[in-house]
Amino acid sequence: MSAQAASRWLDRSSPPHIITLVLLAGTGALSLNIFLPSLPGLAEWYQADYAVVQLAISAYLAVTAVLQLVIGPLSDRYGRRPVMLVALAIFCIATLGALFAPTIESFLAFRFLQAVIASGFVLSRAVVRDMVGPDKAASMIGYVTMGMSLVPMIGPALGGLLDAAFGWQGSIALMLIFGLLVLWITWADMGETNAVRSASFAAQFRAYPELVRSRRFWGYAATAAFASGAFFAFLGGGPFVASELLGMGPKAVGLYFFFVAFGYMLGNFFSGRYAARVGLNGMMIMGGVVAASGVGLAIVLFGLGVMHPMSLFGPMFFVGIGNGLTLPSANAGMVSVRPHLAGSASGLGGALMIGGGAALSAGTGAALSIETGPWPLIGAMFAASLMTVISALYVIRRARQVGALGTEQPAE
């Protein structure tokens, strides 16, 4: 029986509907993306340096990475449903605190607490793997992330409009409303899918060595980390290049982010349609090549002196397509190497993915200046895209050595 057929909408006795999984993953994406156009306004409101305010993105990603190491094992021990409900409740409380934070320090504290919404990323992948096999998981994750990508498609644009109308508080208020809605839907719809729970939380952590000894897991994790790293580098440096080098305002930046999100949605659509037919590894290779080609186009345009918004955002359309092709298959591979550790694998892989992204985001943002132009950003993205291809090739090499996914021994 397919996951969709087994799920009944707003029925807690059945697995969550795909719409609920989209909303869970989308809440995390909204928390990250809708806020981007408001960073300059936030700096002005709190009279803080932009480098400090930028921690609302880069350090937020770092906290997200750490939390994923705990969220996955918690869900393997206690179940997907209770962990997700508690995380959503904490997210709503933290969002309310951020809305009324009196200082930049208190705002950042609540902002970091919001990172618990990473549970949506981690558990949506684990839930899918609970229900279906590897290739079907890649297809279903592709459809989940295709739906989720509607959020970053409209999020920055909506954030820019809210910032223009209400200031940075408008985006935070919308996050609170959205979080409360998703909390109710999750409570009403998300049945438990973890049928094989670990004996204890400590036992779950003791099982980590079995996971980390799998070289194929690290290949999938590296592929996902480098693919998402190219995008996170763009999150860290793109707003600076757009505003300081291209003279774009918050509303324009938000609207141009449409190209990135639309590309990501298309890539996820192709993953949902063809992953089961092409296979995980083939999809990852294609995605890495498309993303690297997109960044190569940006190198050519800026190298020719074409200082136009489309020189930045046009090539990012292809980076979005590449990530949409790569990430569903890489994520499905991570949680399929050791199916009984799906939550832990999703958490550890997500931590590597987000942690690497945080490092690239912070490093790229720090390296950019008027004098450097866009080159630190473009260079970081091109290197990350090339490493995506190399990591995927390693996975293919490993598959030839040990056979089909899930057949290698724990020591291999």
Query: Which helix (DSSP H) or strand (DSSP E) does residue 118 occupy?
Result: none
Question: Cβ neighbours of residue 206 under 8 Å, at least 6 residues apart?
Answer: none
Tokens of 289: 């090549």
Tokens 């809605």 correspond to 181
**13-192+209-402, which class in CATH?**
mainly alpha
Work out the average pLDDT over 283-312. Answer: 94
How much is the mean pLDDT over the chain?
Answer: 84
pLDDT reported for residue 149: 61
Residue ranges per domain, the chain? Answer: 13-192+209-402
How many Å apart are CA 21 and CA 29, to the nearest integer?
Answer: 13
For 239, list phi and psi in degrees, rounded to 5: -60, -35
Residue 1, pLDDT > 60, answer: no
pLDDT reported for residue 148: 65
Tokens of 38: 């408001």
Residue 13, pLDDT > 70, answer: yes
Work out the average pLDDT over 223-235. Answer: 87
Question: Cβ neighbours of residue 325 under 8 Å, at least 6 residues apart?
Answer: 267, 270, 271, 283, 284, 286, 287, 290
Higher pLDDT, 285 or 332: 285
Work out the average pLDDT over 378-388. Answer: 94
Please, is 403 exposed, middle or buried when counting C-beta atoms within 10 Å of its C-beta (0-12, 13-18, 19+)?
Answer: exposed
Higher pLDDT, 394 or 231: 394
pLDDT reported for residue 6: 62
Output the CA–CA distances (angstroms, integers) from residue 371 to 247, 367, 368, 378, in the order listed. Answer: 15, 10, 8, 15
Residue 390, pLDDT > 90, answer: yes
Residue 411, pLDDT > 60, answer: no
HSE at residue 230, side-chain half, CA atoms within 13 A, is 40
pLDDT reported for residue 190: 92
pTM exceeding 0.85: no
- DSSP state letter for 13: T
